[in-house]
Chain A
Amino acid sequence: MRLWAWERRRAAEIFDGMLPPGANGRFFLGAREAGVVEFFEAHLGFMPARTRWAMRAAVDVVGAYASVHRDGARGALQALARSPIYAMREVVTLLKQVVCMGYFSDLRVRDELGLDRPLERPA
């Protein structure tokens, strides 16, 4: 599944608006650096047509509210998350789903939280 170049640019800014680089002492990587855009593109290929459409539309909706820059995207996402309109809030949920799944697929991010360490069993 290939996105248009403008869709990739827009998705990258929106995802970085959601998870900006250097904004947290523990998770230094932003979404783009963690490969979330590539993840998003690959993930779409496995989705049924209507979900693919919904995800691309979600990027378009946020893009329509924001200049194509992560600060603008962050403001748009915050406004949508607070919206009294359920469908608008769901746009943010949908994007969070794919961003979180992509972000925590990055091994550096996983290492930071110790996600792949086994359960320490009681002695």
Chain B
Amino acid sequence: MIATWRDFPDGTDDECDIAVIGTGAAGGAIGKVLTDAGLDVVFVEEGPPIDHLRAGRSVAEASRHIFRDGGTQVSMGRSFIPVLQGRCVGGSTAINSAICWRIPDDAYDRAFARFGLADALPLADLHRQYDVIERDLDVHAVSEAALGRNNALMRAGAEKLGWTGQVTRRNETDCEGSGRCIQSCTGGRKRSVDVTYIPHAIEHGARVYATCRAEGFVTARKRVTGVHGHFWDPDTGKAGGAMTVRARRGVVVAASAVQTPILLGTLPIDGHAHLGEHFRAHPGTGVAGVYDETVRPWLGATQGFEVTHFRDHGIKLEALCIGPELGSVRLAGIGASFMEGLAEFDHLAVWVVAARAEAEGRVRGRPGHAAAISYTPSAGDLRKVRSGMRSLAELHFAAGARWVQPGIHGLPARLGRDDLGRIDDAPLDARAYSLVATHLFGTARMAPDSTAGVVGTDFQVHGLRGLFVVDSSLFPTNLGVNPQHTIMAVAMLAGERIAQASA
């Protein structure tokens, strides 16, 4: 069952084996493993169960309903960078593009083995979990029928230039190419955890307390024995009844690289010097191409083609189907000139670059309040972004674009093929770019001891028993590829270990 604030006006006390905070990629995946092992699980989720009719109505309604802070969460640094996260049953799996990447060997070495985690997170075990996830969530390459012109043009450009790329592998069943993954998939085709692992866990006895904010932990000496918080009405912000869940075998935190350190910050922990530190992301931005043909960039699998030619350089290029509700913000002009841009929006193709950034940021905050994320990409990171933008522009022209719109402050709004060199001269200043930070990592990193991290190799927080972290906050750094698949695989591995220890 999924209960909300309406079901418990006077609050509730519950008891279970394991309480899981968060129902996104990590929470959903570990919930499946724990319930399969016969454990009694309660999920605590800050966001609401998804009303698909409401989320499907418009991007604005979806952002109000299922995005953290209504889609306005930003990091503060040298520039404001949107940090998009889902806040609903299903977490960010409900709003992402469903991309599933097994961690490549080089990324595994860089992100896990180099930090001494090869024994804690063996690559072979991750691949065993990937196999399970791919079967459960129907992971496969986007079909030709669902590709749409925005993705197909990127493929055409890559083929012409001889750049390595492929149709994206995603968790969906018979995608109809509506381009509305961000609205939790209006066609109901995405196999996000709200329609897969969470219902599976519920069938096996789990309860979900949605619209319920975890605010702290129940502790006894050095052991965490439960979680407490309050229900709330996300449409009005009004607080509801109190919630306490006592967990006989422990509490799992799977609340994201932003919320997890904030929750852990309510406890005195041994690795506190690293808590909220080492925040990493894959900052990126888009370049639109203007074509003679009608493209309709809002149609097609949301991200159906990717160019991996520059992955060794920390740069990944992806097509992104996006509508004018969000995509036209980047168009130049005010008044009649802005409207001219809107009028040709159906002739744009929109592609993005994501960079494996080196910069580290920081997360601070209190449960129930907007997080304070401090993050500024370095000059080296911006060099990657800029180089990726140049490559995107070349791709557009190879695919037949008339113009490209780089959206870099100080450059003309439109560049022709002969002007591409101007992108190379763009300033290495975050304020010149319209960056978005996706894929968040590292604010409660795993390390063998508390001098180097927050979480031990047994997934327990250093210095406490019964408190586990299983989301991407434990990743010591960013992966350089889309992380959803690895977040799920790591959480499943953690679930197996916790279940074995509980047996």
Contact between chains at A47 and B334 (CB < 8 Å): no
Q: Is A67 an interface residue (CB 8 A)?
A: no
Among B72, B146, B325, B434, the residue within 8 A (CB) of A100 is: B325
Q: Is B421 an interface residue (CB 8 A)?
A: no
Instruction: For the complex, give the distance between the alpha carbons of A121 and B175 in Å.
Output: 11
In the complex, what residues of B have CB within 8 A of residue A74's CB? 334-335
In the complex, what residues of A have CB within 8 A of residue B146's CB? 119, 121
Interface size class of A (residues with CB under 8 A): 35 or more
Indicate with 1 or 0, residue by residue over B193-212, a CB within 8 angstroms of chain A CB atoms: 00000000000000000000
Instruction: For the complex, give the distance between the alpha carbons of A43 and B409 in Å.
Output: 28
Interface size class of B (residues with CB under 8 A): 35 or more
In the complex, what residues of B have CB within 8 A of residue A20's CB? 335-336, 339
Contact between chains at B329 and A115 (CB < 8 Å): no
In the complex, what residues of B have CB within 8 A of residue A92's CB? 334
Among B177, B298, B336, B338, the residue within 8 A (CB) of A115 is: B298
Flag the segment in B25-33, B340-348, B451-459, B472-480 that touches A.
B340-348
Query: How close is A92's CB to chain B, nearest CB, in angstroms?
Result: 8
Contact between chains at B70 and A101 (CB < 8 Å): no
Among B323, B334, B342, B409, the residue within 8 A (CB) of A27 is: B342
Contact between chains at B343 and A24 (CB < 8 Å): yes
Contact between chains at A23 and B324 (CB < 8 Å): no
Instruction: For the complex, give the distance between the alpha carbons of A17 and B336 in Å.
Output: 9
Contact between chains at B329 and A24 (CB < 8 Å): no
Contact between chains at A102 and B60 (CB < 8 Å): yes
Q: Is B381 an interface residue (CB 8 A)?
A: no
Q: Is A86 an interface residue (CB 8 A)?
A: yes
Query: How close is A98's CB to chain B, nearest CB, in angstroms?
Result: 9
Among B177, B343, B434, the residue within 8 A (CB) of A121 is: B177
Interface residues, chain A, CB within 8 Å of chain B? Answer: 17-20, 23-27, 39, 43, 46-51, 74, 77-78, 81, 86, 89-90, 92-93, 96-97, 100-105, 113-115, 118-119, 121-122
25 pairs across A/B with beta carbons < 8 Å?
A18-B335, A19-B335, A20-B335, A24-B339, A39-B60, A46-B70, A46-B235, A47-B69, A47-B70, A48-B69, A48-B72, A50-B370, A51-B70, A77-B334, A89-B409, A90-B80, A93-B434, A101-B63, A103-B342, A105-B58, A113-B324, A113-B346, A115-B323, A119-B148, A121-B145
